Amino acid sequence: MPLIDPVTMSAINPASQSAPAKTSSPIELLPNDLARIISQVHPVLLLSAYYLRFPSFVADPIPTLLSSLLPLAIIQAAYAALCLPATGSNAKAVKRGKLNGAKKIGDAPSANAFTLLFSFVLSLLSTPVLAGLQILFGAPITTHLPHTLLSSAHLALLTVFPLVYVHGSDGKKWREIASLHSPIDEVFGGAVGCFLGAWLGAVPIPLDWDREWQKWPVTIVTGAYAGYVLGKMVGSWLLKGRRIEFD
């Protein structure tokens, strides 16, 4: 289990930023009340939407997953646009003062729209990669391919989309994310929680309860949503700025 090292709270301590591997700092929300409110509403909205769609998801996985992609994309886009600093926007400026912050949003709406689009494209491209990863983790390969692809699309919108929105395509940053060494914030925390939740979601499948919801990929997607929300909350608050250490 990855544990969190309290020693490396690098973001809070500016001195540690001198270490080359740990230059990155956690993402801060946009400094306005709207962003703060939306970021609290966002998980509630996601979970209640998921809860409402759950019966039809169990009954009819493919159409439900497919039809809920657009609403999910809208929720994520709104959340990203209203709460998160887009990549390329001067992170330092955002951090430095609240005065500039409000301006920033108004400054570059077209740039942010482009970032949103770019994030969508990368999420779409990452979907087959995530599906491949799911198959490596034991997803059925000869059957259920649409299920796996659609659940990967959901995973991509939950994790890849906000990550690309805030980090862009910075190779170094992405290597840090891939080795789970990025400082924890609500975006990265949500992504880690989402994957962990999806992995733990496989646990009830072998039980002999013979419930309809034990079928592929219901538990995985449920775990992913629950993990995402939990990871996001923990990342934005409890463990913010810390890093995951394995040794």
* Residue choice 6, 15, 206, 212 for contact with other proteins (CB under 8 A): 206
Q: HEC states along 208-234?
A: CCCCHHHCCCHHHHHHHHHHHHHHHHH
Whether the CB-CB separation of 181 and 227 falls below 8 Å is answered with: no
Q: Does 212 bind other proteins (CB under 8 A)?
A: no
* Residue choice 58, 78, 202, 233 for contact with other proteins (CB under 8 A): 202
Segment near other proteins (CB under 8 A), from 46-54, 76-84, 137-145, 183-191? 137-145
Q: Does 70 bind other proteins (CB under 8 A)?
A: no
Nearest in space to 241 (alpha carbons), one of 184, 194, 193 = 184
Q: Does 175 bind other proteins (CB under 8 A)?
A: yes
Whether the CB-CB separation of 195 and 133 falls below 8 Å is answered with: no
* Residue choice 173, 199, 230, 233 for contact with other proteins (CB under 8 A): 199
* Residue choice 47, 205, 230, 233 for contact with other proteins (CB under 8 A): 205
The smaller minimum CB distance to other proteins, of residues 51 and 137, is found at 137
Whether the CB-CB separation of 156 and 119 falls below 8 Å is answered with: no
* Residue choice 135, 149, 230, 233 for contact with other proteins (CB under 8 A): 135
The smaller minimum CB distance to other proteins, of residues 67 and 143, is found at 143
The CA–CA distances, whole Å, from 246 to 8, 35, 98, 215 equal 13, 33, 36, 33
CA 143 to chain centroid: 27
Q: Exposed, middle or buried by CB within 10 Å (0-12, 13-18, 19+), for 245?
A: middle
How many residues make contact with other proteins (CB under 8 A)? 24
Segment near other proteins (CB under 8 A), from 12-20, 45-53, 183-191, 205-213? 205-213
The smaller minimum CB distance to other proteins, of residues 79 and 195, is found at 195
The smaller minimum CB distance to other proteins, of residues 111 and 145, is found at 145
Phi-psi region of 215 (alpha: psi -120 to 50; beta: other; left: phi over 0): beta
Q: Which DSSP symbol is given to 85? A: P
* Residue choice 59, 138, 215, 238 for contact with other proteins (CB under 8 A): 138
Whether the CB-CB separation of 208 and 236 falls below 8 Å is answered with: no
Nearest in space to 182 (alpha carbons), one of 129, 231, 130, 127 = 231
- The least CB distance from residue 181 to other proteins, in Å, is 6
- The least CB distance from residue 15 to other proteins, in Å, is 22
Give me the residues that bind other proteins (CB under 8 A), please.
Answer: 1-3, 135-138, 141-142, 175, 178-181, 199, 202-203, 205-208, 245-247
